Each structure stands twice: as C-alpha cells, then as structure tokens.
Structure 1
Amino acid sequence: MDTNLPVSAQPRVVIVGCGFGGLRLAKELADAPVQVVVVDRNNYHNFQPLLYQVATGALEADSIAYPVRKIFAGQKNFFFRMADVKGVNSAANTLQTSIGDIKYDYLVVATGSLTNFFGIESIEKNAMQIKSIPNALNLRSYIFQNFEQALLATDPEHKQALLNIVVVGGGPTGVEISGSLAEMRNHVLPKDYPELDLKKMQIFLVEAGPALLGPMSKASQGDAKRYLDELGVKVMLNTGIKRYEEGKAYYSDTEYIPTENMVWAAGVNGAALPGVAESSVTRNKRITVNQWNRVEGETNIFAIGDVANMVTEEMPKGLPMLAPVAQQQAAHLAKNLQRIMRNEAPQDFKYFDKGVMAIVSRNKAVVDIKNIHFKGFLGWLSWLFIHLILLVGFRNRVVALVDWAFSYVSSGQALRLIIRPFNKRDVKDDKGKRAAEQAAATPEYNPTPSAVQTAPVV
C-alpha cells in the first residue's frame, strides 16, 4: 500500500486531479503541516481554455501544458503519482488506483468534467471532442487529413462532406473554435490548398438554445453572433443534432448537414469517482458538497471545481463550472483543512464572480464584468492578457506570445502538420478510456456550455 510514499506523522491530503483546482490547492498547502499527494493520469497540467488553439494549429501542445513535477519543484511536502484512479474506499480511507491503493487522511476530488453526449451513441462513437491535449491533436490531424482526401475525391457530395465542419454547442468552446476555423478558412487554407474551391467550405455552429454564450449578457450574445456572421460561420440556433452517422449530421429525422468533421462541444458531466456516497452524486454526475466543500454523506472527503455541485441561494442549480470557481474553492479549502486539523470550525465558501470572456477571432472578443460589457479590440487585448497571465510557466507564456504575434502579423497559423495521423475506426481516444468511468449521460439535451473554457477577469 501507499506506492512507496514516505511514512509521515503529518496528516496526508490526497488530491485527485491536477487541473485548476487541484493545482491551486496543492500550492496553497505548501507551508501547511501536511503531506500533499497529487494523483493524475497525466504528468502535466493542461490549460484547457486554449485547447481549441492547439486543435486549429495556432499553438503547439507543449505551449499549454507544464510538467507537474516541475511546477512543484522545491515544495518539500509534495508528492506526485501518475495513475488512473479506479475508485474510493471511504470505509478504509483508501484511494484505489492502477498502481495500488493510497491511504489518505483527507481526500479531495478535483477530477473536473467529462464530455456529455446525452446518450446519443452515434455521436459518442463518431464525433470529435476537445477535452484533452490528445483530443486536440487528433482533431487537428483529422481535419487536415480530410482536406488532403478532398483533393482526391471525385464524388461532389463526399468532397463537400470532407470540407464541411460542424461545431455543436454555442458556449465559449463552440464559439471560439468556430471563429478560429473561419479565420483559418479565410486566410490560411487558400494558400495551402489552391486546388480546392474553399468558397464551398462551410462552417456550421449548431446551438440547441435560442442564443450563443448562454451564461453571458445579451450584448455579448449578440456581438458574438454578429462577429461569426461576418466571418461566414453559419449559426443555427434552436437546433439540436439528433444523430451523426455515415458523414451526415442529422438535425431532424430527415434533414442533415453533410460532414466528415463534427466537433462536439455541447455539454459536460462531472467526473465523479466510484465509491463516493451515491446519495451525493447528481444526475449530471457532479458531487454535492456543502459550503465547506465537504462531500454530502462523507466526513473526510471533499470536492472542488467542475465536479463539485455547491448550491447557493443565488445559484440554486449549483455554482458554474468555471476555472475561477475551482481556484477560489481550492484556496478556501486549504485554509479550512488547516482549521479542521486545529479543531476549529471551518468557514463557509463565498464565490466572487470576476466575470467571463470569450474570443471569436482576431480583434474580436466579448467581455462581461458585472454589469459592464465591452468588446472588439479592447476585449481581444483583455483576453490575450488574462490568458498569458494564467498560463503556467514563463516559457509557455513567451512561446504563446510569440506564436500569437506571428499569427497576428502573418494572418496564419504555422502548425499545420499531420505528425500523428488519426483514424476514428482504430482509435477511440479518451472517450474510450473513460467509458467505464462515465455513467449514462443526462437524457435531455442541455444547451448549457462547459464554462470552464472561459477565462476569469482579474
């Protein structure tokens, strides 16, 4: 047991996941009298808000990822184990992993979220997603592979399907990737593929709700729609994709969009762990926690971030799945854990809403701060500044800044390489690996986007 972790007289805090919440919590506990153990299936922290830029060739993968061990170099009470987490045995206070059981005094679940396919098997099987770096790299390769195939296609309908791209979900992720793809079509692809009539290439953004960017202000919703219209993106509101098979994305029983490129960004589930009290797990697989982030029905298990469902008077459906929520909960929980260890009463968590933002394309972004809305070039500069600050590692900030500056001056992405060819028939990507972990999805189509892709305003 304990996978060669050193024996310590200090309490052990085991954190599952090194996303925004897990990373912040481990840092906040640096000087606490505890042993901090982080368990993650990857040995790097992934900056999810910029995954779409990896998918479209604007950034390389190592620009948005940073090694966990390097982040915590010098933190003496920190230990990392790379493993898949299988479940929790709360009676024995052990975390069950692919490398063995790990004993804990306090367990913090910071596993984030998984893509929700709403039980539509054909979409889960055939659509692409961008929840991880492998997802983004696969999507990038797949799109360019289809352009290469379009050069050879003789059947007009098949050629059109290879060129068309359908993005499902009008949240920040869907809006941002649609805008980035439109810019690539307008400025980059004509130079790379002069043999193709790229005027025929169509980018569709399909949203089940009545507006884009549902959680944002009406001004932001309207501005985002207008920007996408100007870029030539075909926005389809009040429309849901019912199934996706044989290169056809059906939005009714008989009507469809021909496409071999469908990106699913329409919903998320919490990544709850098996073994956590079943009474605390909601329909969308988030774990219900109290105002101290303690899991309902448990005594020493906590949850933060996307996977945590904290209900307040202001937000009866739970706090939004935003990076700032995870970070604020992590900082607060670090203090509460030390209070609990000192036999002091923990304090209630209060979320401070810093606002949200979304980028559409170069010089076009929307920002909401309380009742203040701004857009355009100022919004775009704000988006760049915030994301540069939040990136982990000085090198990543410099590389991202250089890549963005190059793209701005040259109006093109440089990373259009098919280094790792992707075949959907042979590789099921992360959704296959996580199939056993993710229970049946929420049955109804919920247009609420994954707000983790937005950035906080600081």
Structure 2
Amino acid sequence: MKLIIIGGGFGGLKLARELSNKEGFEITLIDRFNHHQFQPLFYQVATSGLDASNISFPLRKIFHKSKNVHIRVAEVQQVLTAENKIITSIGEFDYDALVIATGAGSNFFGNQNLIDHALPMKSSTEALQLRYRLLQNFEKALSIKDEKELQQYMNIVIVGAGPTGVELSGAIADMRRFVLPKDYPELAFSTMKIYLLEGSGKTLAAMSEKSSADSEAYLKKLGVTVMTNTIVKDYDGEKVTLQNGETIETATVIWAAGVKGNVLAGIEKDLIARGNRIKTDRHSLVQGLSNVYAIGDVSYMEEPAYPNGHPQLSPVAIQQGGLLAKNLQLQQNGKPMKDFSYVDKGTMATVGRNLAVVDLSKPKLHFKGFIAWMIWMGIHLMLTLGVKNRFFIFLNWLYNYLTYDQNLRLIFMEPEK
C-alpha cells in the first residue's frame, strides 16, 4: 500500500511510527515543517520559559531506522480524490490510501481586524513571535511619556479561557511578579494589567466544575482580571471592543479563543462539519470516499459517547492514529476494521508556579495545587519526544523554579521601524 500521511502532529506521527518497518506499506509523511512540535508547551516558549528547540524534534531523526517511511517538507495545495493524488509545492504524489492529519489553526471567526492585529499561537514560529512582541513592547514602554499610551503597552489581553489561555495568563502573571520588575525597574508593574476574556460562563469549560472554579481562583490570586460571559467584537491594534460596548486599551491581544480544522483544498464542502472538520465514520474513513482518512483535530467523528464529535485534544489524535494503523493492517490481511472509541484518561492545565488542576477519569479524581502541578510536569515530560529534549526541559524547569527566573528573554528579530 502506497500510503501518504499529511501532517506530522500527534496523530500523523503516531500512525507513521506504528507502521514503520511493517511489511506491505510504503509511507510518505508530508509536513510543511521538518519537525514535530509539542504544542502543549508553546506557551512556555512564548513566555521565555523554554527554547523552541526544546519542544521540537526532527521528523527525519525519528525515522532513522525506518526502511519504509519517507519525509517530504512541502505545502499541500490540493487533494484530487478522483485521481488518487495530491498536488504539493514540490510536485504531485500518487497514493493508494491518504490520511489527512493536518490539525487545526486559530479561528478568528472571519474578523479581518483580529486576523491582522491579534497574535495566535499555533506553531513554534508564532510562539516566538509572541515572545518577541511581549518583550519588544516593554522596550518601547521605556521611552513612552504619555500615560495613556504607556498603559496601552502595559495591558495584555488574552482571549479564550481554555487550557492555552489559562496557562498563558498564569505564566505572564508569574513573569510580572518575579521577572519583569528586575528587567525593567523603570516601569511600574503594579499598573500592568492582564485580562483573560472568555465567552462562556467559566474558565476551562471542558474540565470539571472543580477545575474551573479552582483555576479561576488561582488566576485571581495571581492578579489576572478574569472576565467570563465576555465576547470580543473587534480589535483595531489599539483597543479591544467588547460586544457590550466596553473597550480595553491594549497593544497586545493574544488569541486563544477557538480553533478550526485545516481542511485541504479539494475536500467537498458537504463533507465539512462544524468547526471546519472533515466528517468521518468510526474507522476514520472520510464519508463517501473509499481510501481517504482523517484523524486528529481536523476529523469530525461521532460516537455514542461523543455525539457532537471528539474534543480537539492530542490524546484523541494519538488514539485515532494508533487504531488506524491497526485497521490498515487488518485491511491488508482481508479482515474487518474495528470501530474507534475514545478512552478519556483525563485532562489537566497548569495555572502558575505550584498551581495546576488535574481531572482523572478512571478513577474519577480531582487534584489541585502543588500535587497537580507535579503530575502535569511529569506527564508532559513523558510525552515529549527525545531524551535530550526531556533533559533540557527538566533543566530549564529546575532552573526557573530555584531562581524564580527565566534565561531566554532574547529578542532575535529585527526591531520594528
């Protein structure tokens, strides 16, 4: 089987690794980056806690010992399902089976001003750009005399109180508390305001009521202004306009309010579900097609326990990639495929130093505070690819914990003119 996998995220990588060196498969893994990115730690790159290289791992290195997996770095421009081929920036590729594992990107809900001015964080590059913007704004603030303009640069607005928004808010609050006053003693960080805006009624809406309540309490303890039931209407680069008419003056808006699937050109519109996700059956097979599959964040699959589709989380992508690998082998052997059922092992989020929340499914347990923080760190270390990456992440965390400092506050990009 000539198998093409588009996307080297959690799902695509799991599938390729499971089929590596398996007889009967010739695999081409295509991604626009030459490395796998550990998305749960993007926020630490953005807040100077980790280097981007610590959470990235070269795809080619993963498959050094593989005889049947070939890596290609390219942009996929179109899928031609009728012809069993894809068109990319480096040429055309034929396939017997195609797996779309392109993940999801930021959803600005069609608002061009938000697209132009708000800062997303869905890749290592965007995390580095966010780090640059945060640090550069404080450099600019040093020379601003007008109080209103200065406050604009001292205000940070984060939109979306899911795990990304909560973790970013807590990390920036820790920077304001321990690091920034030492770096910029000329600035009064008592006036710096961090706003976390959420359209629903609570933070971490996908987690338990206890986790939502605990996370909001932790954020308020860290001095974050949490505004639930608050919808952003517009942002012009200088002020955020809320749906109720109120405004917040700020030079920095970080967008973590939603995601949409990265659907490729060539996929019929009637196959697209809510959230710009591709409809599949329980085998991850795209509806109406015989040899095209979709897994992970770009996939919309209904099962009895999840009638509205699965949450867009890495464990879902990993489990779907693992089962699809087994199903493709069953198919090769003329045996029936097995239906996918998501096993929810739990969810977690960190809020700040010694502060986190963890919900376990079986047994149903809730942890908070320091013990949850240790569980969060252990799980994330275990899931990171590469011994070297784990070592450097642990070393950075240890250094940060003992010194109350981060040593990666570097501005590499050319200053804005």
Question: Does the TM-score normalized on the shorter chain lie above 0.5?
Answer: yes
Aligned to 1:375: 368
Aligned to 1:80: 71
Q: In the TM superposition, what is the alpha-carbon distance from 1:414 to its structure 2 partner?
A: 1.0
Q: In the TM superposition, what is the alpha-carbon distance from 1:422 to its structure 2 partner?
A: 6.4
Report which of the two has the higher share of strand.
2
The within-5 A match list for 1:19-98 is: 19-32=9-22, 33-98=24-89
Q: Tell me, yes or no, if the aligned pair for 2:118 and 2:237 is still in contact at 8 Å.
A: no
Structure 2 residue 387 is the aligned partner of structure 1 residue 398: no
Q: 1:350 to 1:254 in 2, by over 3 A?
A: closer
Q: Distance between the aligned counterparts of 2:352 and 2:336, measured in 1?
A: 48
Q: Distance between the aligned counterparts of 1:35 and 1:238, measured in 2?
A: 50
Q: Tell me, yes or no, if the aligned pair for 1:170 and 1:205 is still in contact at 8 Å.
A: yes
Letter matched to residue 6 of structure 2: V
Letter matched to residue 51 of structure 1: F
Q: Tell me, yes or no, if the aligned pair for 1:127 and 1:264 is still in contact at 8 Å.
A: yes
**Identity of matched residues, %:** 46
Q: In the TM superposition, what is the alpha-carbon distance from 1:253 to its structure 2 partner?
A: 6.0
The within-5 A match list for 1:42-191 is: 42-191=33-182
Q: Distance between the aligned counterparts of 1:377 and 1:103, measured in 2?
A: 52
Letter matched to residue 383 of structure 2: L
Deviations 1:123-181 (A, max 9, x none): 11100011011101111011111101111001111100111100000000000000000
Point out where structure 2 has 5 or more consecutive residues left out of the alignment: none
Which residue of the other structure, out of 12, 18, 24, is the alignment partner of 2:8? 18
Which residue of the other structure, out of 379, 400, 413, is the alignment partner of 1:407? 400
The within-5 A match list for 1:265-344 is: 265-344=256-335
Letter matched to residue 181 of structure 1: I
Q: Distance between the aligned counterparts of 1:288 and 1:246, measured in 2?
A: 36
Range with greater deviation from structure 2 (399-408 or 243-252) = 243-252
Q: In the TM superposition, what is the alpha-carbon distance from 1:281 to its structure 2 partner?
A: 1.1
Q: In the TM superposition, what is the alpha-carbon distance from 1:278 to its structure 2 partner?
A: 2.8
Matched position secondary structure for 2:319 = helix
Structure 2 residue 379 is the aligned partner of structure 1 residue 386: yes
Deviations 1:250-289 (A, max 9, x none): 1146421110011000000011111123321113210011
Letter matched to residue 74 of structure 2: A
Q: Distance between the aligned counterparts of 1:95 and 1:127, measured in 2?
A: 33
Q: Tell me, yes or no, if the aligned pair for 1:142 and 1:421 is still in contact at 8 Å.
A: no
Deviations 1:19-42 (A, max 9, x none): 000110000001322001100000
Q: Distance between the aligned counterparts of 1:173 and 1:417, measured in 2?
A: 22
Q: 1:421 to 1:211 in 2, by over 3 A?
A: farther
Deviations 1:200-239 (A, max 9, x none): 0000000000000011000000000010011000000100
Aligned to 1:228: 219
Matched position secondary structure for 2:67 = coil
Q: Tell me, yes or no, if the aligned pair for 2:41 and 2:55 is still in contact at 8 Å.
A: yes
Matched position secondary structure for 2:181 = helix
Q: Distance between the aligned counterparts of 1:19 and 1:253, measured in 2?
A: 38
Q: Distance between the aligned counterparts of 1:328 and 1:20, measured in 2?
A: 9
Q: Tell me, yes or no, if the aligned pair for 2:105 and 2:262 is still in contact at 8 Å.
A: yes
Structure 2 residue 201 is the aligned partner of structure 1 residue 215: no
In the superposition, the TM-score normalised over structure 2's length comes to: 0.98
Q: Tell me, yes or no, if the aligned pair for 1:207 and 1:240 is still in contact at 8 Å.
A: yes
Letter matched to residue 9 of structure 2: G
Matched position secondary structure for 1:242 = strand
Matched position secondary structure for 2:142 = helix
Q: Tell me, yes or no, if the aligned pair for 2:201 and 2:229 is still in contact at 8 Å.
A: yes
Q: In the TM superposition, what is the alpha-carbon distance from 1:95 to its structure 2 partner?
A: 1.1
Deviations 1:277-322 (A, max 9, x none): 3321113210011000000011000010000101112111101111
Q: Distance between the aligned counterparts of 1:132 and 1:60, measured in 2?
A: 13
Point out where structure 1 has 5 or more consecutive residues left out of the alignment: 1-10, 426-458
Aligned residue-pair number: 414
Matched position secondary structure for 1:318 = coil
Q: 1:249 to 1:163 in 2, by over 3 A?
A: same
Matched position secondary structure for 1:152 = coil
